[in-house]
Structure 1
Amino acid sequence: MSIFKTDNITMRFGGLTAVSNLNINIEENEIVGLIGPNGAGKTTCFNMITGVYTATEGKIHFKDVDITNEKTHNITKLGIARTFQNIRLFKDLTVLDNVVIANHMRLNSNIVSAVIRTPSYIKKEKYIHEKSINLLKSVGLEDLKDEKASSLPYGKQRRLEIARALATDPKLLILDEPAAGMNPQESLELMGFIKEIRKNHKLSILMIEHHMQVVMGVCERMYVLDYGVLIAEGNPSEIQNNPKVIEAYLGVD
């Protein structure tokens, strides 16, 4: 069953067309890759999906809801969360506090109840604390909960950023180059980690990734962009052997 799709989305910046008539479909509990050479339009696509940009043309649907013109915070509440190529943590806060903050998006309380700390507010705070600890446990960071986020090794900062995204209770998780900056061992661990969070959190995942071993190892289907145009779609084997994809990445003789 489809959870997400785009209908001919196009993004223009003045006279430049960054993405042209792109159609993507993601099924429930599916891991899908969006790949292409630098400048292909992948991040622009992510920014349209998450409300950073509004598509010049076309429609974006999530769970049969038109989110084309929705604001970023509303899209998050509907169930789409993302990470970024450049990690964006609250580096001076603890690992636990980074996750707790994300949980507050779904805390339905007002300023008065927070100030006087009503019983219902305290109950919600306790729930958020327990949920945050469980999320850290699920990504292998529970023992580091009191450390500053900036003190974590790079690979663990990536895990924390994903945990923070998971705290918003998404149904679609968008990962922007999760293996960027990782060493070979961290990249290998990431592959298993992505499959694990998909299973444990019953997620669909859409990811941009330049690390071909990672994207080929975890994605069931892939879309390939080149200069903003979709040039190929299929499973990893089909993509690896597609002449248009080979040409886009390696050029032709």
Structure 2
Amino acid sequence: MSLLRTNNLTKKFGGLTAVSKFAMDIKEMEIVGLIGPNGAGKTTVFNMLTGVYKPTKGSIFFDGRDITGIKSHEVTKLGIARTFQNIRLFKELSVLDNVLVANHLRLKSNILFSVLRTPNYIRQEKHMYEKSMELLKEVGLDDVKDEMASSLPYGKQRRLEIARALATDPKILLLDEPAAGMNPQESFELMEFIHDIRDKFDLTIFMIEHHMQVVMGVCEKIYVLDHGVTIAEGTPKEIQNDEKVIEAYLGVD
């Protein structure tokens, strides 16, 4: 079943077309990659999908609903979560508090209930704590829950950012270059981790990544952008052997 689909998705900035007529179809539980040279329009696609940018043309359908142009917080409530190329954590908060903050998206009490400490609010607060601890355990960070986010090694900061995204109860997780800055061992662990969270949380995953070993190792389908235009789509094997993709990455003599 199709979970996230775009049709003729286009974004222009003045006279520059950053993305042109992008069409994709992601099914439930798939791990899909979006690759291309720097400046190809990959992050612009993510920004349209998550409500940061309003498309100039085209449509976005999520779980059977047209979500074109809706605001970012509404997109998140519907079940689309994302991470960023540059890690965006609350670095002066603890690891646990970073995840607790994200849980407030689903909180049904208002600020008055929190001030009055009503029984219902206390129950929800307890549930948020237990859920956050479970998420930290799932991503291997429960033993550092009280440490400042800024003190974590780079690979663990990535995991924390993903845990925070998972706290919003997404149906699909958008990962923007999750392997950026990782060493080979961390990249290998990330590949296992992505497969693991897909299966544990029944997630669909859509990822931008430059690290070809990671892309080819985890993705079941790949879309390739070059100067905002889709030049290829297919399985990892098909993409590896596509002449247009090779030319876009390596150039021609």
Alignment TM class, shorter chain as reference: over 0.9
Counterpart in the other structure of 1:2: 2
1:192 aligns with 2:180: no
Q: Which amino acid aligns with 1:136?
A: L
% same residue: 72
Counterpart in the other structure of 1:119: 119
Structure 1 SS opposite 2:210: coil
Counterpart in the other structure of 1:153: 153
Moved over 4 A (4+): none
Instruction: Report the CA distance between 1:97 and its aligned residue.
Output: 0.2
Q: Distance in 1 between matches of 2:176 and 2:50?
A: 12
Counterpart in the other structure of 1:66: 66
Q: Which amino acid aligns with 2:229?
A: V
Counterpart in the other structure of 1:169: 169
Instruction: Give the TM-score taking structure 2 as reference length.
Output: 1.00
Q: Deviations over 1:99-143 (max 9, x none)?
A: 000001100111211101000000000000000000000000000
Structure 2 SS opposite 1:24: strand
Q: Which amino acid aligns with 1:197?
A: I
Q: Distance in 1 between matches of 2:111 and 2:87?
A: 30
1:160-239 to structure 2, matched below 5 A, reads 160-239=160-239
Which runs of no fewer than 5 residues in structure 1 stay unpaired? none
Q: Distance in 1 between matches of 2:111 and 2:86?
A: 33
Counterpart in the other structure of 1:22: 22
Counterpart in the other structure of 1:110: 110
The number of aligned residues is 253
Structure 2 SS opposite 1:75: helix
Counterpart in the other structure of 1:32: 32
Q: Distance in 1 between matches of 2:24 and 2:168?
A: 24
Structure 2 SS opposite 1:127: helix
Instruction: Report the CA distance between 1:248 and its aligned residue.
Output: 0.4
Which runs of no fewer than 5 residues in structure 2 stay unpaired? none
Counterpart in the other structure of 1:75: 75
1:50-65 to structure 2, matched below 5 A, reads 50-65=50-65
Instruction: Report the CA distance between 1:81 and its aligned residue.
Output: 0.1
Instruction: Report the CA distance between 1:69 and its aligned residue.
Output: 1.4
Q: Distance in 2 between matches of 1:214 and 1:170?
A: 22
Instruction: Report the CA distance between 1:98 and its aligned residue.
Output: 0.1
Instruction: Give the TM-score taking structure 1 as reference length.
Output: 1.00
Instruction: Report the CA distance between 1:252 and its aligned residue.
Output: 1.1
Counterpart in the other structure of 1:249: 249
Q: Distance in 1 between matches of 2:103 and 2:113?
A: 17
Give the root-mean-square deviation of aligned CA atoms.
0.4
Q: Deviations over 1:203-234 (max 9, x none)?
A: 00000000000010000000000000000000
Structure 2 SS opposite 1:182: coil
Q: Distance in 2 between matches of 1:195 and 1:127?
A: 27
